[in-house]
């Protein structure tokens, strides 16, 4: 899916569509509809509005389409708010499990000597889960690192 289609789908799949979203951007529904409609090539949605729509709707379609066009992938970062106890060992266990799943998928998809598009997507999905697990452990370790420092040495937030 390309970025234009993703923007169109984001607006039109949202409950209330452009009518509900446009006022949040300070625009009319007609203007927003035209900005995301590929049939109106002179009207374009701006990056700031695309970001705001993504955050408001929690729809990562535009972000994923942009990443795909750039030969990248989106990896949501886990949150670990201050004051919340973490279980680093559970995170490491999840990381090991995800690594095993990546290896299992690679073994499965390469068994016949060829890798189809769907098989590649499955491996990429498992790899994404592994990277997310690694990031969760790193966040937990950063929280512990900050908590162990004297207040005067902690990073300003």
3-class DSSP state for residue 8?
Answer: helix
CB 91 within 8 A of CB 140: yes
Residues with Cβ within 8 Å of residue 128, at least 6 apart in sequence: 73, 75
Give pLDDT, residue 10.
96
Per-residue pLDDT of the chain (157 residues; tens, 9 = 90+): 899 999 999 999 999 999 999 999 999 999 999 999 999 989 999 999 999 999 999 999 999 999 999 988 887 766 655 555 567 888 888 999 999 999 999 999 999 999 999 999 999 999 999 999 999 899 888 888 888 888 888 766 5
**Cβ density class 62-101: b for 16+ within 10 Å, e for less:** bbbbbeeeeeeeeeeeeebeeeeebeeeebbebbeebbeb
Give pLDDT, residue 61.
94
Give pLDDT, residue 156.
62
Give pLDDT, residue 7.
96
Give pLDDT, residue 106.
96
Tokens of 112: 């016949």
Give pLDDT, residue 85.
55
What are the boundaries of each domain within the chain?
A: 3-69, 88-153
Q: What is the pTM of this model?
A: 0.55
């Amino acid at each position: 899916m390309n970025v234009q289609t993703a923007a169109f789908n984001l607006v039109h799949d949202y409950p209330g569509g452009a009518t509900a979203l446009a006022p949040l951007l300070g625009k009319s529904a007609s203007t927003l509809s035209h900005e995301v409609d590929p049939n109106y090539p002179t009207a374009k949605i701006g990056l700031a509005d695309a970001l705001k729509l993504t955050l408001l709707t929690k729809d990562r379609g535009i972000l994923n389409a942009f990443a795909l066009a750039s030969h990248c992938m989106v990896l949501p970062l886990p949150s670990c708010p201050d004051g919340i106890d973490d279980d680093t060992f559970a995170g490491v266990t999840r990381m090991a499990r995800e690594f095993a799943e990546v290896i299992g998928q690679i073994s499965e998809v390469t068994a016949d000597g060829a890798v189809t598009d769907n098989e590649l997507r499955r491996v990429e999905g498992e790899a994404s889960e592994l990277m997310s697990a690694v990031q969760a452990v790193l966040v937990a370790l950063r929280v512990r690192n900050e908590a162990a420092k004297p207040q005067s040495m902690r990073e300003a937030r």
